[in-house]
Amino acid sequence: MSFLKPKDIIEEGDTVILYLSVNSMHAIEATPTIVNKKGETIEYIFQTSYGALKVRNLIGVAYGSRVELSKGWAYVLQPNPELWTQTLPHRTQIIYTPDISMILFQLEVRPGSLIVESGTGSGSLSHYFLRAIKPSGHLHTFDFHEARVQQARDEFQRHGLGTCVSVYHRDVCQLGFGNELEGKADAVFLDLPAPHLCVPFAAKTLKERGGRFCSFSPCIEQSQRCCIALQENGFTEIRSLEILQMEHIVKTKTIPVLDLEFLKHKVADENNADTSTDKAGNLKTPKELKKLLTSSVPPTIPGHTGYLTFATLPPAFVR
């Protein structure tokens, strides 16, 4: 139940983040025993790069505590969507925090929102939707992969989020989101290989008074087809963008000090005879150089994840 609200103490069944370092974290369930591959119930011992942890010892411990491992120590943290995205079991490709922050902002997700999502995948994005819309909102999430649907349902239940989410097993490109949701959604989000096929269903599902749409696609061709479908289905404000994280290069560099006297003479020289070069023809430069701490952008920016296509469905009376 660890995602529902802040907690002080780890209870049996909680999902706990075992934090070894910023690059090494594990999500574990606080349960004294597990069933091994042979079907036997055994003591739950979790192995890490700093040795073993007897998981039963976590129950009753305060979140944020330092716990002993056989060859070191770790912190036990209450999970949130950001930590969950970094530690969740990958059943599919997932969407990460930088893209998700833009999705939540652009879709205007807030407490009480009714959100429709497909595919559910590994539930990475779903956890952010749920944090933003609870306690009064609802997430309807669809996937056509039956096993993933069941795994996601169980996971939301274990995380204490079961009442805020409905998980459906359906091919949304063939069947849409169903009559029950027609005209109800504040926002529709798609992470599908062929989102354009689902756009007409998204239009039907958004509220009469309008709503926001987003589709995430790794390839520009998917976004292009999606944009055409959005236009054909009455959407406006269609915009595709890409989130690229850029780490600035901070370096000490030797650079010439801006010499206004020098510039004044240089301009005067250029207006009269050309004396901006010396006798050997070299450009005269200011004499003073200074070492300064500088910041510049990298020549290339790696890290393409996907294109985010946003659109608005205007209220019914202006469509």
Ligand X SMILES: C[S@@+](CC[C@H](N)C(=O)[O-])C[C@H]1O[C@@H](n2cnc3c(N)ncnc32)[C@H](O)[C@@H]1O
Cβ of residue 187: shortest distance to ligand X, in angstroms? 14
| CA atoms of 151 and 142, how far apart (whole Å) | 13
Report CA-CA distances (Å) from 201 to 80, 138, 178: 32, 19, 9
Q: What is the dihedral of CA 8, 9, 11, 17, to 10 degrees?
A: 80
Q: Which two tokens stand for residue 73?
A: 């120590």
Is the peptide bond preceding residue 256 cis, with omega within 30 degrees of 0? no
Binding residues vs ligand X (CB under 6 A): 92-95, 118-119, 121-125, 142-145, 148, 171-173, 191-193
Which of 93, 296 has the CB closer to ligand X?
A: 93
Cβ of residue 175: shortest distance to ligand X, in angstroms? 8
Which of 10, 113 has the CB closer to ligand X?
A: 113
Closest residue to ligand X using C-beta atoms:
119
Cβ of residue 222: shortest distance to ligand X, in angstroms? 12
Which of 186, 191 has the CB closer to ligand X?
A: 191
| CA atoms of 286 and 290, how far apart (whole Å) | 11
Cβ of residue 63: shortest distance to ligand X, in angstroms? 25
Cβ of residue 101: shortest distance to ligand X, in angstroms? 13
Q: Are strands 187-190 and 211-217 parallel, antiparallel or unpaired?
A: parallel
Cβ of residue 85: shortest distance to ligand X, in angstroms? 8
Picking from 306, 110, 313, the residue whose alpha carbon sits closest to that of residue 222 is 306
Picking from 228, 154, 225, the residue whose alpha carbon sits closest to that of residue 194 is 225
Burial 128-166 (b: 16+ CB within 10 A, else e): bbbbbbbeebbbbbbbbbeebbebbbebbebbbbbebbe
| CA atoms of 282 and 277, how far apart (whole Å) | 5
Cβ of residue 125: shortest distance to ligand X, in angstroms? 4
Which of 44, 204 has the CB closer to ligand X?
A: 204
Cβ of residue 93: shortest distance to ligand X, in angstroms? 4
Which of 113, 118 has the CB closer to ligand X?
A: 118
Which of 69, 165 has the CB closer to ligand X?
A: 165
Q: What are phi and psi of 216, to 5 degrees?
A: -105, 125
**How many residues can be counted in the chain?**
319
- Please say whether the beta carbons of 85 and 25 come within 8 A: no
Which of 119, 137 has the CB closer to ligand X?
A: 119
| CA atoms of 125 and 96, how far apart (whole Å) | 8
Which of 123, 137 has the CB closer to ligand X?
A: 123
